[in-house]
Structure 1
């Protein structure tokens, strides 16, 4: 069971904080340990080999997932069993302006951001939505734990950081606006060329155009 879980979770996890990977990795290591112990105590070879093999595969996937999170520009993301849009938009439904209201600024062509939905007629907006969803999920979790950062800063390579924490990257044409509100937070990602912006409504857990 530990081996199966260790293989499944890295493939199913989407937009999770990096420390989640450390927790999942222990499942794969535990599966290998239990398989060896079971075999030495006289257990069947089939279960031992199967559990140990799944544990090794799961550990490799977890390490890959961690590397992709902490070095997103150098390590490709782990394949997911669910599309990003299907899993994340359930937690952060898109609200606000309708597609026709944001078409005009999106005439400027940009490539799809890594992990974003491919929307040829409005890729810029799709990229902004993807970044807002990714950051919104992490910030909502930190809010629930009482660990919201006091500030977010964008480094020269686009990596977003706060004191003691490193988040994912944003595109060179993006900027972020972040601040604390009573009991919550405000987050917006903006296209610096057109001014198009997408934010997180933390009171309703929705993605909104701004």
Structure 2
């Protein structure tokens, strides 16, 4: 599969590394050309401009900070129209850990409207250190990865890419569910900022108090 990484940060690195190991062909775009080229070399792929990478891709992963999303979408233009797109981003500000999007509206829906692509929301609930695990397993069980979207082809490709990480895919509905995944991410990010281990972010039992049996 030809995967276009639109973004050259830690998420693109973590997921791209695993997908390259699974035999996929990757191409990388980033706001900083040197950074995109360095990641492409690491992945055994090549770098290009945003529109070039979008045109190359059988499926594209958009992985940028929410502040850079308008620039990224402008650079992509219409090159993703009709194509499978995976959105792993979280529009969460870190002062009060609230969503920056219109209430009830997901960033994934905005990306679909802007690009004309077929968007699935996935990979947004875990820190990059979890995606770097080979594979992500907890108590000897594979990580369950929820995803949502309307397009059957994009859902199938996402299912495959989740499986390639050694994880268990969990389809939770249409793209309208993306708002809930993004809201959940706001809680996860707040926990990470307050010092919870990324590998055990939901392990919130206070061990200083006895646990009722």
- Alignment TM class, shorter chain as reference: under 0.3
- Which has the larger helix fraction? 1
Higher CA-based Rg = 1
